[in-house]
């Protein structure tokens, strides 16, 4: 008998998707919505088609293993984790789990918004089957790790996204489940918190428990995981040694660099209060190589926002390398000519970068909309992948990002003998 902690056999998940032109439209007026609603009463139901979020997925995970799950956005990773966490039922196939499962899939998952932080800690432990004495023994560790001492008696609906994630991870990791399932929500935390989370996951694995870890941060996956599963369009295309799996994934993922725009209406990898949401993002610059540029090229990106936040907004753009390292951050705060504007029903923001300072490699963007208090309204992660091409003709030493990611102009002055270099 195999000593597995997780065993998945021919797992599939099907959704029925309405196939209507109306759903694919980004903006509609109130009049159009009313006409559509009235028309739906008189017309037959819209035709639907099958969408397989997962198809015939099989694998085994042993106790003490840390297994990464990687793939492009929409590949089926989150669906797999929801099934393993018993949030969603599969259409077919079987899942065998040995032991209690602790999971952190989305911001606030498993928390009751009206209960305080203290009450939610005890609620989560009870759901895991722990006694009150067991929870009490772990309580101080959870609170210290999450850093929410001052807000224990505050309803979690008033927590920021970062606070919710810190508390959610602390609860999931410290209540000693035999299987710990973590989705990409760690991207919400700051660098110090992410470092502590990775360290805690390592402790969990060393104690003989199992960790399933979904991430777009290839550096973290490479550091943490014994094995990696690659999912593409609902199918597992590879399961095996970490470096080999990452290489296969990165090679296949570069086909997305031909897509100069993305519809974000139903994009899942985001967080924020949702008062306004990014609806679309696209490159405006006309280049012969689609989403392939050269160091110091000028590029323009257009962001479309849907909804109203009733407050002034500030925007940010973060560029990450293909291994998840954040290499460039841009903010409307840094533009002296930026004028704060209240986000209304249709808002468009154009980002102009006069000289992109990146060295050859593969990158992607994350975009953020924050209110005046810097609370996130909407943050979308890992979109608009692009490549910086090798330009060895004009810059023979700037052919890769092996020694760094950015290139800026500099002047080098050499003197010899008694001569000194003058400074301003």
* DSSP sequence for 42-60: HSPPPPEEEEEEEEEEEEE
Q: Is the dihedral of CA 237, 240, 244, 250 positive or negative?
A: positive
Which stretches of 20-159 are DSSP H helices?
30-42, 77-84, 117-127, 132-146
Domain ranges of the chain: 6-17+51-252, 261-389
Residues 6+ apart with CB under 8 A from 199: none
Distance of alpha carbon 103 from alpha carbon 178, whole angstroms: 11
Give kind and range of the element (H or E) at residue 391.
Answer: none
Contact 326, 406 (CB under 8 A): no
The residue count of the chain comes to 424
Give burial (CB, 10 Å; 0-12/13-18/19+) of 177. Answer: buried
- CATH hierarchy code of domain 6-17+51-252: 3.40.50.300
Q: For helices 191-206 and 161-174, give the axis angle rounded to 10 degrees.
A: 10
What confidence tens digit (pLDDT) does each residue in 68-98 have?
999 887 788 889 998 998 888 999 999 999 9
pTM of the model: 0.66
Give kind and range of the element (H or E) at residue 220.
Answer: helix 218-224
pLDDT value for 119 = 93
Contact 262, 384 (CB under 8 A): yes
pLDDT value for 322 = 81
Contact 342, 310 (CB under 8 A): yes
Q: pLDDT under 50 in the chain at which residues?
A: 20-27
Distance of alpha carbon 23 from alpha carbon 27, whole angstroms: 10
Place of tokens 């980004």: 26
pLDDT value for 22 = 45
Q: Is the dihedral of CA 227, 55, 258, 184 positive or negative?
A: negative
pLDDT value for 189 = 62
Contact 363, 387 (CB under 8 A): yes
E runs forming strands in 250-403: 261-263, 270-271, 276-283, 292-294, 299-307, 314-321, 326-331, 346-353, 361-370, 376-389
What secondary structure letter does DSSP report for 413? -
CATH class of 261-389: mainly beta
């Amino acid at each position: 008998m195999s000593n597995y902690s997780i065993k998945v056999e021919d797992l599939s998940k099907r959704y029925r998707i309405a196939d209507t032109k109306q759903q694919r439209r980004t903006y509609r007026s109130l009049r159009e919505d009313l006409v559509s609603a009235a028309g739906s009463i008189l017309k037959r139901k819209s035709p639907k088609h099958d969408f397989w979020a997962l198809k015939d997925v099989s694998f085994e995970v042993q106790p003490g293993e840390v297994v990464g799950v990687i793939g492009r956005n929409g590949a089926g990773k989150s669906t797999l984790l929801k099934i393993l966490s018993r949030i969603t039922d599969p259409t077919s196939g079987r899942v065998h789990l040995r032991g209690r499962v602790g999971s952190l899939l989305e911001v606030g998952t498993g928390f009751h918004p009206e209960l305080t932080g203290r009450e939610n800690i005890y609620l989560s432990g009870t759901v895991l089957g722990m006694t009150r004495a067991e929870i009490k023994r772990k309580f101080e560790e959870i609170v210290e790790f999450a850093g929410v001492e001052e807000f224990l008696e505050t309803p979690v609906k008033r927590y920021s996204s970062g606070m919710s994630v810190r508390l959610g991870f602390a609860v999931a990791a410290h209540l000693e489940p035999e299987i710990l399932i973590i989705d990409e929500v760690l991207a919400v935390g700051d660098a110090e918190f992410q470092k502590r989370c990775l360290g805690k996951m390592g402790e969990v694995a060393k104690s003989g428990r199992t960790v399933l870890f979904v991430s777009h941060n290839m550096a973290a996956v490479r550091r943490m995981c014994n094995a990696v599963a690659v999912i593409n369009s609902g199918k597992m295309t590879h399961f095996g040694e970490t470096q080999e799996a990452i290489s296969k994934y990165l090679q296949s993922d570069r086909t997305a660099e031909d897509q100069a725009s993305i519809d974000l209406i139903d994009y899942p990898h985001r967080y924020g209060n949702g008062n306004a949401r990014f609806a679309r993002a696209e490159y405006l610059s006309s280049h012969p190589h689609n989403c392939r540029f050269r160091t110091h090229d000028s590029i323009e990106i257009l962001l479309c926002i849907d909804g109203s936040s009733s407050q002034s907004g500030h925007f940010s753009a973060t560029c990450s390398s293909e291994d998840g390292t954040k290499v460039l951050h841009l903010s409307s705060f840094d533009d002296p000519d930026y004028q704060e504007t209240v986000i209304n029903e249709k808002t468009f923001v154009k980002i102009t970068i006069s000289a992109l300072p990146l060295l050859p490699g593969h990158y992607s963007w994350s975009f953020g909309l924050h209110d005046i208090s810097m609370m996130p309204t909407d943050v979308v992660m890992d979109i608009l992948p692009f490549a910086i091409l090798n330009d060895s003709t004009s810059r023979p030493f700037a052919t890769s990002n092996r020694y760094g990611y950015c290139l800026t102009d500099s002047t080098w002055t050499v003197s010899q003998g008694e001569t000194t270099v003058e400074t301003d």
